Structure 1
């Protein structure tokens, strides 16, 4: 919390200027020498040069500043994610990480991804797979908008598909939570908070191009993405999923999000 408080002061001074300075039209796919992760959001921020475009030398402060200014993520959440990234760094003592440090199996990457192949399907579980994404999108039957109930069923369809297809499929508490978080993130970042619907066009651009769809009308969320918003949406998603889960955390009592390795549910 001391780290978060200190960062809050620093980022608070920078964020007001950063919001005005971000040019979401400044986008370029990675070039040879650039590195990327299994996370479409972090990759998108690098492609927009909001995080370092080469995907290297990312500090916790830079994560907090970038996530806060671009998509209105709270300091606490961004700090937690930055610390998680640093913990996976090849040189954590250096104070920074590269996006490809996150490519470790079962760290943030997990089986039954919405857009990546399972690790046991060839070893590359961090690069976008059009085949997997098409399977996921196919569950929406041509809808132009995604509701949370539809997203819950589509996510569960991916889990069931890989359970039958991958003989070494892993779906423990950490993988389950990261799977929920994957759907929650794109809904909170890209969705309309009033209608609680997410344009399919935005989702396709986000995953396929790893780009924030500013040119198509997306804007930075007005409602902060904080621990309560994340935990509440994860809970709602779980309740809409035909999966046997027992909640043991009340989101209304959750003060701080526990990060990618925190769990809201027991199986």
Structure 2
């Protein structure tokens, strides 16, 4: 936390600004990244940039910019600010109050081993989408067209088991475990039908492989995301995972 002490004025300014500013772009405005655009290991953030809700070039993102972008997904201001501060921790210069999307590739802060769509860094991963990894993840759905907590939990756990066996530097510390669960929690919260607690697999394919929210296919941001709702999803994923109970610790700010 000492690292972020000089940022208190920036954080306070961000909270004030976020109360008044709201993103104006729509989800039907999309085009893929070009070669000069910076992208992260998080398909959701990349999709927000591809939709123009975050800066399309992925550069110089501030806490209020990210808070306002996450508002489009119905993420509460409190949770969005917390997520933004974790992202800011990856910046090459956190005191500047800005980060680039590719800064999030720093290992074991947000990026983690056993990703659902990225290769482990120790095995040559560079934070970019990997079709082979993603195909393995989809394979755990056993050709289901709609999935719920059980399928999402088993797919995450399957990826953890694969990388635990083949990555000699595999990390699954309490904070890495939190990042792994958070990855599944976030896509589930963003894409689920709140009435059924399920997700069309096609929505998952579009978000991860195209880095686009499936607006044209009928998706709408329907589930308000806050600490309580995302905590409930994470708990459901954990309850459907055959692993021993262990600490799940959020990365330190």
TM-score, normalised via structure 2 length: 0.91
Gapped regions of structure 1 (runs ≥ 5): 249-257, 263-267
Partner of 2:241: 241
Partner of 1:187: 188
Partner of 2:230: 230
Deviation of residue 138 (structure 1)? 0.6
> CA 1:193 to 1:247, structure 2 compared with 1: closer, same or farther past 3 Å?
farther
Partner of 2:20: 13
Distance 1:209 1:194 in 2: 26
Deviation of residue 14 (structure 1)? 2.8
User: Does the 8 Å contact 1:60/1:82 carry over to 2?
Assistant: yes
Deviation of residue 8 (structure 1)? 5.3
1:105 and 2:112 correspond:
no
Aligned residues: 245
Partner of 1:40: 43
Per-residue CA shift, 1:122-173, capped at 9, x if unaligned? 142x100000000010111111111101111111111111111112211111
TM-score, normalised via structure 1 length: 0.86
Partner of 1:254: none
Distance 1:81 1:99 in 2: 13
Per-residue CA shift, 1:187-242, capped at 9, x if unaligned? 11001011000110100000000001100001122x32001111111111111100
Which protein, 1 or 2, shows the higher relative CO under an 8 Å CA cutoff with sep ≥ 6? 2
> CA 1:98 to 1:157, structure 2 compared with 1: closer, same or farther past 3 Å?
same
Q: Which of these residues, 239, 261, 266, is aligned with residue 251 of structure 2?
A: 261
Q: Which of these residues, 46, 53, 59, is aligned with residue 56 of structure 1?
A: 59
User: Does the 8 Å contact 2:174/2:246 carry over to 1?
Assistant: no
Deviation of residue 261 (structure 1)? 1.5
Give runs of ≥4 in structure 1 deviating > 2 Å: 1-15
Gapped regions of structure 2 (runs ≥ 5): 1-7
Distance 2:125 2:18 in 1: 38
Instruction: Provide the aligned C-alpha RMSD in A.
Output: 2.0
User: Does the 8 Å contact 1:4/1:76 carry over to 2?
Assistant: no
